[in-house]
């Protein structure tokens, strides 16, 4: 129990201290008008109070991610606590802050545009496709589960439930951000927090003992901690999906100093939620073997339902149903909204995308494949969401590092976690079944070589940035 409580304390202290360090390095200016005012259009660009933006950001980036992912990651044992705390404070929250603030500094630009600005047009084209594919996979995976649960609890068929959900998606994606998202989502965000806090408090007063820290791998299937834990627990530690969501709120921020509370703060809140559910997973079923058996029987939704109803009674059952249905739907909604924004930016090279007609033109092409993928086995989708998600996160960290390098600021706050995630992603795709499925030792060796190559590129960029330009040298001589 002490490890669990200490981990939560570290996240709180990390927010109070390190978030200010990151903000100071980035450099804010509250005298500058934000895109919420300069580009105000009543649809995507509209000023919003920071507390409301924070709750919406939390709901957008979280959904069931820090619940399902943390429960699955709990199979590795208390070592998951280390990854959540370190990953959240030094990688995930930094990633979210830079994805949001760089978007704000570039008139609410989407993630691929930021990548193009700091990593080049070639990388932009690649990440544009990867990001849209990730949005489609996330929306499909976060829609199939709720539709299945609705079909099991009501007379509605799975297909009809799916149609209803996607009808809502289309409405929410084209309406102004303050009509549906701005009014309803803060309430859902509060439910997410209340649900996690209630579970956390109930855990402290049960006869079940939350395990303390051990570096031993407790996974019943003997799966390696590196790099699988870093991909299994993404929401709550670091998730590339967040970089696609932050621009939605970057277009609503009233002043730059709100960014620390909205972007860094929401990520730390998600980290606390992940800690609570990881603790619940490894505690409630008497250990990781019991948790694995429970996951095999009812999946993550069944595990969440059993924990909630047992610890919180009827209220827990209601919260579990609300969580498993509403939270992923809200994530799917904003996933399609952000993909619509990306498609809009891409199409504007060829013709103007304006008004309701333009919005629908950009929304429908991503909605159709999402609907199709939601009709297949969504556990299959999750196999591809994880690796793609962390690849996007890695690219965003490198984007932040190049921005800081170009601005001659302390770039290591993005560069070090970017190198770490490069190693994670390289090794994962080499080892995972959905990747090249190479032997573990081979994957480690090749992954290390790939990371070294990227590190050498990083050193080259650092040395290049430190060299005085020809114009500055001549000015100095004069």
Q: What are the structural domains of the chain?
A: 2-379 (1.20.1740.10)
pLDDT by 10s per residue, the chain, length 478: 899 999 999 999 999 999 999 999 999 999 999 999 999 988 789 999 999 999 889 988 887 788 888 999 999 999 999 999 999 999 999 999 999 999 999 999 988 899 999 999 889 888 888 888 887 887 787 777 778 778 877 888 888 988 888 888 777 766 776 677 777 778 888 878 888 888 899 998 888 888 898 888 999 988 999 999 999 999 899 999 899 889 989 999 999 999 999 999 999 999 999 999 999 999 999 899 999 999 998 778 788 888 888 888 887 777 777 777 777 777 777 777 777 777 777 666 665 655 556 666 667 777 788 888 877 765 666 667 888 899 999 999 999 999 999 999 999 999 999 999 999 999 999 999 888 999 999 999 999 999 999 999 999 999 998 876 544 444 444 4
- Model-level pTM greater than 0.85? yes
DSSP state of 262: I
- C-alpha distances (whole Å) from 176 to each of 258, 262, 445 are 21, 20, 49
29, two tokens: 């200016």
What contacts 24+ positions apart, CB below 8 Å, involve 40-47? Answer: 42/176, 43/176, 43/177, 43/359, 44/108, 44/176, 44/177, 44/248, 44/251, 44/341, 45/108, 45/251, 45/252, 46/176, 46/177, 46/178, 46/182, 46/251, 46/252, 47/252, 47/254
Neighbours of 157 (CB within 10 A): 12
Q: According to DSSP H, which parts of 285-377 are helical?
A: 288-347, 355-374
DSSP letter string, 407-420: TTS-THHHHHHHHH
Task: Give kind and range of the element (H or E) at residue 220.
Answer: none
In order, the DSSP letters of 33-72 are PPHHHHT--SSS---B-HHHHHHHHHHHHHTTHHHHHHHH
Phi, psi of 124, deg, nearest 5: -60, -45
Read off the pLDDT of residues 119-166 as tens digits, 9 standing for 90 and up.
998 898 888 888 888 878 877 877 777 787 788 778 888 889 888 888
Residue 250 CA to residue 268 CA, distance in Å, equals: 18
**352/348 Cα distance (integer angstroms):** 5
Task: Give the Cα separation of 4 and 460 in Å (integer).
Answer: 41
What torsion do the CA atoms of 391, 394, 399, 400 make, to the nearest 10 degrees?
Answer: 150
CB atoms within 10 A of CB 20: 12
3-state secondary structure of 153: helix
Is the Cβ–Cβ distance between 209 and 1 less than 8 Å? Answer: yes
> In this structure, what are the phi and psi dihedrals at residue 257, rounded to the nearest 5 degrees?
-70, -15
Length of the chain: 478
Using the Cα atoms of residue 435, residue 441, residue 444 and residue 445 in order, give the sign of their dihedral: negative
């Amino acid at each position: 129990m002490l490890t669990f409580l200490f981990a939560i304390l570290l996240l709180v202290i990390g927010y109070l201290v390190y978030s200010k360090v990151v903000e100071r390095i980035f450099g804010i200016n509250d005298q500058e008008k934000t895109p919420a005012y300069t580009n105000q259009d009543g649809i995507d660009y509209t000023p919003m109070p920071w507390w409301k933006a924070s709750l919406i950001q939390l709901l957008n980036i979280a959904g069931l991610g820090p619940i399902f992912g943390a429960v699955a990651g709990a199979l590795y044992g208390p070592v998951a606590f280390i990854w959540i705390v370190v990953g959240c404070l030094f990688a995930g929250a930094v990633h979210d802050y830079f994805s949001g603030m760089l978007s704000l500094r570039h008139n609410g630009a989407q993630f691929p545009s930021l990548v193009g600005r700091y990593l080049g047009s070639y990388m932009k084209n690649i990440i544009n496709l990867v990001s849209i594919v990730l949005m489609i996979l996330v929306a499909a995976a976060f829609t199939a589960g709720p539709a299945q649960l609705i079909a099991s609890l009501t007379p509605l068929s799975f297909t009809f439930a799916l149609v209803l959900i996607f009808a809502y998606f289309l409405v929410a994606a084209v309406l102004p951000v303050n009509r549906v998202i701005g009014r309803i989502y803060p309430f859902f965000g509060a439910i997410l927090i209340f649900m996690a806090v209630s579970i956390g408090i109930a855990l402290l007063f049960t006869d079940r003992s939350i395990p303390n820290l051990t570096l031993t791998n407790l996974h019943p299937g003997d799966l390696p901690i590196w790099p699988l834990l870093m991909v299994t627990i993404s929401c709550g530690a670091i998730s590339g999906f967040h970089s696609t969501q932050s621009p939605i709120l970057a277009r609503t921020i009233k002043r730059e100093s709100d960014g620390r509370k909205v972007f860094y703060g929401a990520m730390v809140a998600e980290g606390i939620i992940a800690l609570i559910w990881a603790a619940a997973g490894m505690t409630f079923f008497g250990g990781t073997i019991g948790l694995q058996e429970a996951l095999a029987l009812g999946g993550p939704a069944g595990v969440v339902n059993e924990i909630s109803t047992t610890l919180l009674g009827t209220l827990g059952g209601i919260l579990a149903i609300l969580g498993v249905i509403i939270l992923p739907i809200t994530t799917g909604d904003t996933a399609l909204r952000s993909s619509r924004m990306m498609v809009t930016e891409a199409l504007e090279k060829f013709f103007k995308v304006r008004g309701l007609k333009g919005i629908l033109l950009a929304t429908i092409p991503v909605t159709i494949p999402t609907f199709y993928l939601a009709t297949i086995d969504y556990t299959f989708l999750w196999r591809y969401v994880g690796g793609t998600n962390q690849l996007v996160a890695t690219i965003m960290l490198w984007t932040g590092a190049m921005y800081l390098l170009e601005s001659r600021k302390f770039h290591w706050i993005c560069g070090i976690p970017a190198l770490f995630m490069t190693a994670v992603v390289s090794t994962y795709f080499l080892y995972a079944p959905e990747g090249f499925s190479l032997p573990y030792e081979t994957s480690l060796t090749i992954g290390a070589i790939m990371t070294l190559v990227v590190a050498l590129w990083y050193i080259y960029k650092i040395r290049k940035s430190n060299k005085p330009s020809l114009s500055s040298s001549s000015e100095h001589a004069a």
